[in-house]
């Protein structure tokens, strides 16, 4: 699930990062490996081989539309599973249980409702883009067809930067996980994951991504079906779950707790609403649905996705309601961000952590391959065909898209291997970019009279304001500044295009 950094509070931003770098320690790794290196290599290689084989076996005729938009032939159910899988990334498998453990029902509500709601909102936007631009490939391409070059370029910068940073985050997170759980070298883990994501994405692009999304979603569901019922039985049954509804310290009895709403709810809602709208991965899928099926696909995808945080939250409630289910967390030996895997490790046999690792690989892969395919479409359509060779044949553009996938993979891998690089720094950057395009994009889809200068300055001003203000708030730990940055980005990026539209009418 692609979370904007801007929705996270001072505790919760670190929770997202700590899912791998504190939860699973860091790049330098810990010594308490939970899975042997041989088993880990076997799992990763087998997982990658399965994804690659599924793409090769199902390969059809080649073509640009197949590679970039799956021939615009994706049906409702297949598309819905792909939407749900693309919106899941591995930290969701930690954070749902963490929020349930720390803040009980209100934490779970603010984590889940905006996550599902943003996909429901996008269900209404996807048919709009198809009506405006039925043969399109990317949102920046649509922007470029309606506005000037400057507006197109700032959208392209935001969207392409997001894909590169998003892939780098998956590599950082996944490599840290493999390092700590299994003792695999951080660099080796990053390379393995980059090779895995790239190998099958190169075969048929988005169609490969959508097909593997189905497998990844099935893997996550099967993993939950194997782990959660057994954890409930071993952890004290439904009584332990209900005992944890107020959080581990019993402070959050009201589902509308004002502290949770302010410190987490406002920012999570703003950031998550900007998630799909500011991300080419979802516009690419909107263009890939069969005509008339995007709305149902996204609506159903939201419902399918909801199963994951709701299911994983049960582990958090068990941990909150039964201290014996996660003694290391209660003793302070393990971070609260580990509550999900700790409950599994405490209550279940050793194979429970192996299943959990496979689920995490599914979450990483669903984002990694989607970022590659989205980035490839942006380079091929919005750079090569628009600015370099407008008369390029489809075969030429397809070749460039494949080269772009390789280049983005190498660039993201290089970023992930920079000494001292953190998920926080990448999130701060691309989270601001994504949120700044939310309101201008919606206005563009529903108003025809927004001029180019309003679109450009709406996005540029929001970035110029939001990034430094949020960064200062993060550095000094001031939640008010961070909430203000979120609200300010939305207001600025809405006000300037709207004012421009009104002036254009007069």
For 199-214, the pLDDT digits (tens) are 988 888 888 889 899 9
Other C-beta atoms closer than 10 Å to the C-beta of 417 total 18
pLDDT attached to residue 29:
38
Structure tokens at 462: 């929001």
Distance CA 28, CA 377 (A): 35
Other C-beta atoms closer than 10 Å to the C-beta of 458 total 27
Where do the domains of the chain lie? Answer: 9-27+36-421
pLDDT attached to residue 51:
85
To the nearest 10 degrees (0 to 180), the angle between helices 91-132 and 266-277 is 50
pLDDT attached to residue 24:
40
Q: Please name which of 214, 223, 175 lies closest in space to residue 195, comparing C-alpha atoms.
A: 175
Q: What mean pLDDT comes out for the span 227-238?
A: 93
The string of pLDDT tens digits covering residues 112-140 is: 888 899 999 999 999 999 988 989 999 99
Other C-beta atoms closer than 10 Å to the C-beta of 395 total 11
pLDDT attached to residue 58:
59
pLDDT attached to residue 432:
74
Q: Please name which of 445, 384, 476, 451 lies closest in space to residue 128, comparing C-alpha atoms.
A: 445
Distance CA 82, CA 300 (A): 11
Q: How far is CA 247 from the centre of its chain?
A: 26
Distance CA 356, CA 352 (A): 6
Contact partners, residue 396, CB within 8 Å, separation at least 6: 389
Q: Which whole-number Å values give the CA distances from 68 to 146, 214, 298, 385, in the listed order?
A: 21, 18, 19, 14
pLDDT attached to residue 400:
95
The pLDDT confidence band at residue 37, using thresholds 50, 70 and 90, is confident
Structure tokens at 486: 């979120």
Other C-beta atoms closer than 10 Å to the C-beta of 495 total 15
Q: What mean pLDDT comes out for the span 83-105?
A: 83
Q: How many residues does the chain have?
A: 506
pLDDT of 7 above 90 = no
The string of pLDDT tens digits covering residues 339-348 is: 888 899 899 9
pLDDT attached to residue 90:
63
Paired strand residues for 322: none
pLDDT attached to residue 60:
57
pLDDT of 59 above 60 = no
Distance CA 44, CA 189 (A): 9
pLDDT attached to residue 312:
92
The pLDDT confidence band at residue 110, using thresholds 50, 70 and 90, is confident
The string of pLDDT tens digits covering residues 365-401 is: 888 899 999 999 999 999 999 999 989 999 999 999 9
The string of pLDDT tens digits covering residues 393-440 is: 999 999 999 999 999 999 999 998 988 776 666 766 777 778 889 999
pLDDT of 300 above 60 = yes
- DSSP-based three-state secondary structure for 419: coil
The residue that leads in pLDDT, 57 or 192, is 192
pLDDT attached to residue 84:
92
Instruction: Pick from 57-71, 244-258, 271-285, 393-407 the range whose average pLDDT is largest.
Output: 393-407
The gap between the terminal CA atoms of the chain, to the nearest Å, is: 42
pLDDT of 48 above 90 = no
**CATH code of the region 9-27+36-421:** 1.20.1730.10
Burial bucket for residue 217 (CB in 10 Å: 0-12, 13-18, 19+): buried
- DSSP-based three-state secondary structure for 128: helix
Q: How far is CA 453 from the centre of its chain?
A: 30
Range list of β-strands (E), 195-238: none
Maximum pairwise Cα distance, the chain? 70
Q: Are 284 and 374 in contact (CB under 8 A)?
A: yes
Share of the chain above pLDDT 70, in %: 90
pLDDT of 11 above 70 = no
Distance CA 61, CA 116 (A): 35
pLDDT attached to residue 427:
67
Q: Please name which of 466, 462, 478 lies closest in space to residue 427, comparing C-alpha atoms.
A: 466
Q: Are 139 and 280 in contact (CB under 8 A)?
A: yes
pLDDT attached to residue 353:
86
pLDDT attached to residue 218:
92
What is the overall mean pLDDT for the chain?
A: 84
Paired strand residues for 473: none
The string of pLDDT tens digits covering residues 147-166 is: 999 999 999 999 999 899 88
């Amino acid at each position: 699930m692609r979370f904007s950094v801007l929705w996270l509070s001072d505790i919760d931003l670190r929770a997202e990062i700590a899912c791998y770098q504190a939860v699973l320690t860091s790049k330098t790794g810990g010594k308490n490996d939970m899975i042997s290196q041989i088993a880990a290599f076997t799992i990763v290689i087998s997982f990658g081989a399965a994804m690659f084989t599924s793409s090769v076996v199902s390969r059809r005729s080649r073509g640009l539309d197949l590679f970039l938009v799956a021939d615009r032939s994706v049906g409702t159910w297949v598309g819905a599973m792909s939407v749900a899988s693309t919106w899941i990334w591995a930290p969701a498998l930690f954070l749902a249980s963490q929020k349930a453990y720390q803040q009980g029902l209100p934490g779970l509500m603010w984590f889940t409702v905006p996550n599902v709601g943003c996909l429901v909102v996008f269900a209404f936007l996807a048919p709009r883009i198809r009506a405006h631009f039925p043969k399109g490939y990317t949102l920046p391409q649509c922007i470029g067809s309606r506005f000037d070059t400057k507006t197109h370029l700032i959208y392209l910068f935001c969207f392409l930067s997001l894909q590169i940073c998003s892939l780098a985050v998956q590599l950082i997170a996944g490599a840290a996980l493999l390092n700590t759980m299994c003792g695999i070298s951080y660099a080796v883990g990053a390379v393995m994951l980059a090779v895995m994501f790239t190998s099958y994405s190169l075969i048929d692009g988005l169609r490969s991504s959508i097909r593997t999304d189905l497998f990844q979603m099935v893997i996550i569901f099967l993993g939950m079906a194997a782990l959660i019922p057994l954890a409930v039985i071993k952890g004290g049954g439904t009584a332990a779950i209900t005992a944890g509804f107020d959080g581990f310290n019993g402070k959050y009895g009201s589902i509308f707790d004002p502290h949770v709403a302010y410190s987490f709810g406002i920012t999570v809602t703003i950031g998550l609403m900007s998630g799909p709208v500011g991300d080419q991965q979802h516009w690419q899928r909107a263009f890939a649905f069969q005509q008339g099926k995007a709305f149902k696909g996204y609506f159903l995808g939201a419902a399918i996705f909801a199963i994951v945080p709701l299911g994983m939250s049960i582990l958090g409630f068990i941990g909150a309601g039964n201290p014996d289910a996660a003694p290391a967390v209660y003793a302070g030996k393990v971070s609260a961000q580990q509550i999900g895997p700790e409950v599994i490790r405490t209550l279940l046999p050793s194979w429970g952590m192996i299943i959990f690792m496979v689920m995490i690989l599914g979450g990483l892969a669903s984002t990694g391959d989607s970022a590659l395919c989205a980035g490839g479409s942006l380079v091929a359509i919005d750079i090569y065909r628009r600015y370099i060779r407008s008369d390029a044949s489809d075969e030429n553009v397809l070749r460039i898209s494949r080269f772009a996938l390789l280049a983005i993979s190498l660039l993201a891998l290089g970023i992930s291997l920079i000494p001292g690089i953190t998920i926080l720094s990448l999130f701060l950057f691309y989270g601001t970019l994504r949120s700044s395009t939310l309101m201008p994009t919606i206005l563009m889809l529903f108003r025809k009279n927004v001029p180019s200068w309003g679109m450009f300055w709406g996005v540029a001003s929001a970035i110029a304001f939001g990034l430094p203000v949020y960064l200062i708030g993060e550095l000094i730990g001031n939640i008010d500044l961070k909430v203000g940055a979120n609200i300010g980005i939305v207001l600025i990026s809405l006000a300037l295009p709207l004012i421009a539209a009104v002036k254009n009418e007069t």
